[in-house]
Structure 1
Amino acid sequence: MERKKFVSLMVRYGFYALVIYFFVWSFQKNYFSYLFKETETFVLLTRQHLELVAVSSLLAIAVALPSAVLVTRPRFRQTEWIFTNLANLGQTIPVLAVLALMISILGLGFKTAVFALFIYSVLPIFRNTVAGLNSIDDRLIDAAKGMGMKPHQILFRVELPNAAYSIMAGIRTAIVINVGTAAFAFLIGGGGLGVWIFTGIRLFDNSALLSGAVPVTLLAILADYLLRLLEYVVVPKGTRPSANA
């Protein structure tokens, strides 16, 4: 056990050392020059990136959660395969294809980028919510019914709290993927940090590339960390995996 703990610590500190070395090396090579020379542009692109992620993620949550609740109700269980296949279809179409298809309908810019990101965010939230609701012990539902609870009370007091960990895992996954995928918004005039990433690729400019790619990576890590904190608040203590171990 002590050996496993020692190896785990060594791997963790080794990773931290590599990250520190990367940043020191990048600063020595002046690869983050865009962040200091064009600070206003960086703030603008970051704001655009966050808006793309926030709007598309909120839309995905607003659609995926009610849909998952609907298909787990007894009278609508037969429709689950329809919703699941629709969500799968949105995930399997390449993001560039979605952008190209929607340009003719929504045009270039923010709306088309948000729609593509929304399509890509629905599946993780929907499937995790369905899995969480379906995994609840039937005895809990029977006990709630025995106490005289109505269906909506069972949903909000029993089912959703017990499925909260799985739901939050789906939301975290969707948003972290969203942060990275939002870089493609540049291709249709949607803005975001993808402007610097694709500019760097096109001009073979490592400064532009890293000035866009590294902040995107850090945003994904920050989003995951903040959602973990939210998960700690939202998920009841007794339903967390560590509590059941």
Structure 2
Amino acid sequence: MNILNFVSAFFNDSAHWHGYDGIPTRLWEHLQYSLEALVVAAAIGLPVGLVTGHFGRGGNALALIATAARALPSFGLLVLMVILLGFSLLPVMIPLVVLAVPPILVTTYEAVRSVDPSPVDAARGMGMQESRILFQVELPVALPLILSGLRSAAIQIVSTATIAAYLGLGGLGRYIIDGLYQRNYEKVVGGATLVAAMALATLGLFWAAGRFAVSQGVRRSA
């Protein structure tokens, strides 16, 4: 039986569309985990990246932190958090946030640093406050690159949130873990297909956000 047959059998089975183990429920759980992790990661990475990028300090330290965070294995960190914190959603959130912060942090820093200094100097010469320079001059120009960092983090989170199933939680990883345990490869392939589809949908969502939030002039120059 090839992969396409597995996919067809999974999605054509009406049992997979209803109840606590149905596709809508698992999609909603996966979306919740992913959004929570992305919001926390953005709350950490965006302010630090914006401030350090604006003042041009701490770039080497950020690169070191990002490299160290990327080197941490998500599953190994999950096991460690379970040992320290027990079985709950928190041990899942920590590896996802650690995975997502580096691309947001580094990309935001680089986005602000890459802004043409001429309008920034002109704004300072006009007496604008540093906070206004950051949010009214630098941020609109840096926004496309900042969104690319958020997009990269979101896709990594969506792809990795399947680890929640190892702790008996929900999400699309349930199909993969349960399918492997039951030797039900229809479930495994179906779950993997849903994760891939969700990652592609995330790409499309950020593309639309970029078209809506970034001005046409900035898009053209980018």
TM-score, length basis structure 1? 0.82
SS at match of 1:72: helix
> What does 1:1-150 correspond to in 2, within 5 Å?
26-27=7-8, 30-32=9-11, 36-38=14-16, 39-40=18-19, 41-42=21-22, 43-74=24-55, 77=57, 79-150=58-129
Name segments (4+ residues, structure 1) moved above 6 Å. none
Q: CA deviation at 1:22?
A: 6.7
Q: CA deviation at 1:224?
A: 1.2
Q: CA deviation at 1:213?
A: 1.2
Q: Relative to structure 1, is the Cα distance of residues 69 and 26 closer, same or farther in structure 2, using a 3 angstrom cutoff?
A: closer
Q: 2:221 corresponds to which letter in structure 1?
A: N
Q: Relative to structure 1, is the Cα distance of residues 153 and 83 closer, same or farther in structure 2, using a 3 angstrom cutoff?
A: same
Alpha-carbon distance between aligned partners in 1 of 2:119 and 2:77, rounded to the nearest angstrom: 42
Structure 2 portions without partners, runs of 5+:
none
Q: 2:51 corresponds to which letter in structure 1?
A: L
Q: CA deviation at 1:132?
A: 0.6
Q: 2:15 corresponds to which letter in structure 1?
A: K
Alpha-carbon distance between aligned partners in 1 of 2:168 and 2:106, rounded to the nearest angstrom: 31
Number of residue pairs the alignment of both structures matches: 218
TM-score, length basis structure 2? 0.90
1:175 aligns with 2:154: yes
Q: Relative to structure 1, is the Cα distance of residues 105 and 221 closer, same or farther in structure 2, using a 3 angstrom cutoff?
A: same
- The structure with the larger Rg is 1
Alpha-carbon distance between aligned partners in 2 of 1:59 and 1:31, rounded to the nearest angstrom: 34
Alpha-carbon distance between aligned partners in 2 of 1:54 and 1:190, rounded to the nearest angstrom: 16
Q: Which has the higher mean CA deviation after the structures are superposed, 160-169 or 200-209? A: 200-209
1:197 aligns with 2:197: no
Alpha-carbon distance between aligned partners in 2 of 1:244 and 1:69, rounded to the nearest angstrom: 21
Q: Relative to structure 1, is the Cα distance of residues 115 and 211 closer, same or farther in structure 2, using a 3 angstrom cutoff?
A: same
Q: RMSD value over aligned CA atoms? A: 2.0
1:228 aligns with 2:212: no
Does the 8 Å CA contact 2:175/2:188 hold for their aligned counterparts?
A: yes
Q: CA deviation at 1:44?
A: 2.3
Q: CA deviation at 1:208?
A: 0.9
Structure 1 portions without partners, runs of 5+:
1-20
Does the 8 Å CA contact 1:117/1:178 hold for their aligned counterparts?
A: yes
Q: CA deviation at 1:137?
A: 1.1
Alpha-carbon distance between aligned partners in 1 of 2:71 and 2:177, rounded to the nearest angstrom: 23
